[in-house]
A and B are shown apart, each in its own frame.
Chain A
């Protein structure tokens, strides 16, 4: 492993296209800024490992027996929206994600 010393505000350039910048040091936490092309996925290691493991466990085949679903519930039990859920339609609309606006290209 290559080990480098950096001060806040200083950066490391990888492969001429990825920049890792030390933003701030706060006690035992280091804030790091990463600039990479959108084709280079950047993840927190523990979240990556959790989803990778979940994908490996999920792999199956199309002959598998399937569960029968009942009406959906809130993602967080006892969530603050609980009272609204009683009125929720039996067949809610498909999920539409929220999009973060990309920076306009110059």
Chain B
């Protein structure tokens, strides 16, 4: 089994890493397909989505329920098939944070990264209801 370790509180020590494969990459970074999902206890609820072959480059990500209370991306039939999702609870949703100035930032709610917890395969999706959400949603700081 290659379930997400992050989801297992027993294993949640100071630092947890999972390898996530994005067969299509991120939009604009289509060639980078392997990422390390890195969780450091002192940085919760943020996580790092670090390029596996180039550790100098990383995206800051956050599970959206720490940012908004009423977020429900609706995945297209094509994305559900691509990610091989059967149970919605198997989908781990992360949103990319853009740091802006000192200790502030915005979150992209329009293009979430969705990872199948069972296969650790992910995709940056544009949900069917993307028009309801912003790419520059302010972080609650």
A binding-site residues for B, Cβ under 8 Å: 38-39, 41-43, 47-48, 50-62, 64-76, 79, 81, 85, 88, 92-103
Contacts and interface: CB of A to CB of B under 8 A. Distances in A.
A47 B114 contact: no
A89 B56 CA distance: 37
Given A38-B82, A97-B74, A72 B91 contact: no
B132 interface: yes
Given A58-B97, A72-B67, A97-B74, A65 B88 contact: no
Contact of A97 (B82, B91, B126): B91
Contact of A101 (B46, B50, B77, B99): B77
Interface residues of B, number: 73
A95 B96 contact: no
B92 to A, nearest CB: 8
Nearest to B36: A62
Contact of A95 (B23, B28, B43, B72): B72
B122 to A, nearest CB: 13
Contacts of A75: 68-71, 109, 132-134, 137
Contacts of A59: 57-59
Nearest to B51: A59
Contacts of B62: 69
B93 A61 contact: no
Given A66-B103, A67-B105, A100-B74, A54 B135 contact: yes
Contacts of B52: none
A26 B133 CA distance: 27
